[in-house]
Structure formats: C-alpha cells, structure tokens
Amino acid sequence: MIDVLYFAWVRERIGLPRETLETQAATVADLVTELKAREPRYEAAFADLSALRVALDQELSEFDAPLKGVREVAFFPPMTGG
Amino acid sequence: MIDVLYFAWVRERIGLPRETLETQAATVADLVTELKAREPRYEAAFADLSALRVALDQELSEFDAPLKGVREVAFFPPMTGG
Amino acid sequence: MKISVQAAPFDLGAELSEFGTGRADVGAVVSFTGIVRDDSGQMHALELEHYPGMTEAAITRIAQEAVERWDLADALVIHRHGRLAIGETIMMVATAARHRAAAFEAAEFLMDYLKSRAPFWKKEHGPGGTSWVEAKDTDEAALKRW
Amino acid sequence: MKISVQAAPFDLGAELSEFGTGRADVGAVVSFTGIVRDDSGQMHALELEHYPGMTEAAITRIAQEAVERWDLADALVIHRHGRLAIGETIMMVATAARHRAAAFEAAEFLMDYLKSRAPFWKKEHGPGGTSWVEAKDTDEAALKRW
C-alpha cells in the first residue's frame, strides 16, 4: 500500500488531494503508467511529465526512481514559493 | 580665503579640525605644498598623499584639481563607513 | 535557527528586533521580505498551497546548508500559506554573519532555493477566476549560480 | 526616500514596518543592518567621525543613483555617528522593488558605496588606547562590480 498525494493543478485535475493505492509498480514511471490507464482525468493530469515534479517520502526525486520501500509519493507542478 | 577641514587622523596629526587660510595655490597639490612648508605637523600629515583623500566643496576630488572658486577643502583618510 | 510555515501574518519588525543580537561576532544582518504584488491591476488575492510536512523539512535542510556554507551566526525563514491580500507579506528570510558579503549571499541563496525547491504553489484570484502561477525559467536558472 | 545621519539609535523594526508598503508594485524588500563587531575580544567601543553636510549629500546622491538604476519604489539609509558599544546598530539600508534581484543588487550597491564613498571614519577604543580602522582593499575592489 502506498499513499499518493496531489498538489496544485494536479490535485484539481485528478479531483482529490490524496488516495491510498495497491500497486506493483517498480518505479515512479511505472506508477504513472498505471494511473494514466485508470481514467481520463489521470491521463490528463499526467499528459506531460516534463511539467511535473515528484517527491518520494517528502524528498524531491526523479520519475525513474524505484518505489521499493516508499510509503508516500507526491505529484505536483514546479514549485512557485518565495 | 578658503576653509580647510581635517578629519580622522589627519585632524589629530595637525591638531585642529578646521582653519581659514589666505592662499594663492592654483591646485590642491599646490595648497598641500604650502601647508607642508608651514610646520612639521603638516609635513607629517601630508607625508603620503596616496593615503589621503580630498573633497572640494563637499565633493570627492583629486589632488591635481584647480582651487579656483572653491570655498571649502577637506583632507581625510580613505572612508571606513557602513 | 527559526523555521516557521504558518497561515498567520508575522511582524517583520518583531522578528528582526532580536535577530543576530547578543553576539560580538555578528557584523551584518540581511533580511528579505516577499510581498503580494499585483502586476495586472486586477488581482483580488493570492492563494498559497503547500505540502505539510515536506515544507518544513525542505526549508530546514536549505537553511542548514546556508548556515554551514556561509558560517552564519543565525538564519530565519518564515513562509505563509493560505489566502493573502495584495500588499500582504508572504515570507521573509534573515541571515546574520560576520561580514556583509556572506549575509547577502546566504540570503540570496535561501531565496533562490525557496522559489524553486520548497513545495509551495501560488494561485492568483482575479475577475476571470483563478490561475496557477507558472514557474519561471529565470528562477530555475538562478539556482545554477550556487 | 529617507536619508538620516544621526547620533541616536534607531529602531530597525519600526523603520521597516511601513517601508515599501501601500503599493501594489512592490514584491521585494531587502534590508541590511551593520552591527558593531568585536573581532579581538578586547574592544571597548567604536567611534564614528563624519563630515557634517557632505555626509548627507553623498548618501542622498548614492541613494538616488540606486533608485534610478534599479527602478526602486523606495530606498532608506540611516547611518549613525558618535560612540557606539559592541552589538549596537551602526547603520541600515533598505530597498523596495518589484523583483528580488533588483532589491538585493541595489542594497549591495548602496553598502559598497557607503563603505568607501560616504565620509565616515571608524576608530576603535581598546585596552591599549585608540586606533583608526584602515580601509580595506576588498571594500575598494567591491566598487568595481557596479
């Protein structure tokens, strides 16, 4: 089981802030492929990965990173703080 | 007649903060030559011109600048504010 | 070192009044304050979303890196989230160091990292609805100098 | 624009509380505060001599140049003179601009110029008497970047 969090327009497009999933995905990219296959709103949210960032257990990571041992995955657009 | 002001260690070496002089000096350098000839304390204060700065009517200037029309000359070491 | 992620306003003067004081080795304090700007003349408010938990951790890591790299006597970061009106203070950083160059550099480093590496997202509320602020290439480029 | 040369202490928080506020085009405020440091561990006090009249004129000119060059919404310089204890605030500058890069650059420019072009001279009071602080080559070199 893995917690998946969405922020900013990713959250708005998917329509929920977080969900808990059962997945066999080996990498973040594999998880994205699974999610896109679920529904058009996921397909829309993940259409352009270059416009997205990912954090694994609250640390910025990459889409080819392995998911083994990870409890929390977050997807969001580039940050605009400060 | 010209007002001559001294600051920091220039003031301390010469022993006074300001004086009013009658001078025919054409440039700042000429005025310095006149002053050095007056007394050893002036000679000591003006021994190394590279360690001094000059302002004419409260604007930073150069030692070869003309004195014509100038009412106030100030001599001091490099500034150390801020 | 003080790190705070909060919805409430903060008092810049109060935060700075004691910052970096009481030490004989601090000669320079630099502060930066970010304020809600309205370039279009039509914005109603700015909304800041963040990632609770990760935000504090990311900012703490960035601030610790600044303290070590510039040998800071102290560092302070306050960043707000939620809905803010035009002219309201979004965030502040402060750095205390022996010399001015270190205090300035560390504050700029903190700002560059907060802009692009702390998990905040800005949304503008205007007459035509809302829109997410897009990340600027210049902000990403600013990181390269460190 | 506020320029003040004064013997009295100032309240950093009070000075900054209204600075740059009330305008929709200000997104960034940077402040710098200079504090009396004691590197030797033996200093009793710092004394600042200045050139009344020229000081205000020189600082005003420097600040106006910064306002024009970085299109600042506002600039503030306060510089004290007289005898100051360790830990006391010597001076401050503040800049308000649309973007952070301009606010930071203008504040650093002001500091570099105040260090070497405003007529102040520092004298340290220690156990062995007094000595004038010498100008640093690095301060003169810092001017070259502008």
pLDDT in tens, B1-38: 999 999 999 999 999 999 999 999 999 999 999 999 99
Does residue D41 register a pLDDT over 90? no
Q: Which residue of C has its CA nearest to A80?
A: C121
**Exposure pattern of A58-81 as b/e (b: 16+ CB <10 Å)?**
beebebeeebeebebbbbbbbbbb
CA–centroid distance for D88 within its chain: 13
Q: Which two tokens stand for residue A57?
A: 């257990």
Encoded tokens for B56: 């004419």
Quick check: B7 contacting D, CB < 8 Å? yes
Residues of C in contact with A79 (CB under 8 A): 115-121, 135
The arithmetic mean of pLDDT across residues C91-98, rounded, is 98
Tell me the pLDDT band of B47, cut-offs 50, 70 and 90: very high
Residues 6+ positions from C73 with CB-CB distance below 8 Å: C20, C23, C25, C26, C96, C97, C98
D24 chain-C contacts, CB cut-off 8 A: 37-38, 41, 86-87
> In Å, what is the CA distance from D24 to each residue of C7, C38, C40?
21, 5, 10
CA–CA distance, D121 with D140 (Å, rounded to integer): 15
Q: Contact B81/D120, CB-based, under 8 Å?
A: yes
Confidence check: pLDDT of C18 > 90: no
Contact call for C48 and A81, based on CB within 8 A: yes
∠ CA(C14), CA(A82), CA(C125), 5° rounding? 105
C53: which chain A residues are within 8 Å (Cβ-Cβ)?
Answer: 58
Q: How confident is the model at residue A75 (pLDDT cuts 50, 70, 90)?
A: very high
The CA distance from A74 to the nearest CA of chain C, in Å, is 9
Per-domain residue ranges of chain C: 2-144
Residues 6+ apart with CB under 8 A from D46: D36, D83, D84, D85, D86, D90, D122, D123, D124, D125
Q: What is the DSSP letter of A66?
A: B
pLDDT in the model for residue C22: 86
Q: CA of A4, closest CA in chain C: separation in Å?
A: 12
φ/ψ of B72, rounded to 5, equals -140, 120
pLDDT at D22 over 90: no
Nearest neighbour of C115 by CB, restricted to A5, A77, A82: A82
C-alpha distances (whole Å) from C37 to each of C40, D23, D48 are 9, 8, 39
What is C2-144's CATH number?
Answer: 3.90.1170.40
Q: Is the pLDDT of residue A34 over 90?
A: yes
| Interface test with chain A among C3, C54, C133, C139, by most A beta carbons within 10 Å | C54
Chains A, B in contact, 3 or more Cβ pairs below 8 Å? no
Is the CB of B51 inside 8 Å of chain D's CB atoms? no
pLDDT 10s digits, C100-141: 999 999 999 999 999 999 999 999 999 989 999 999 988 988
pLDDT over 90 (residue D18): no
- Using a CB–CB cutoff of 8 Å, tell me whether A60 touches chain C: yes
Contact at 8 Å (CB) between C123 and C47? yes
**Domains in chain A and their CATH numbers?**
2-76 (3.10.20.30)
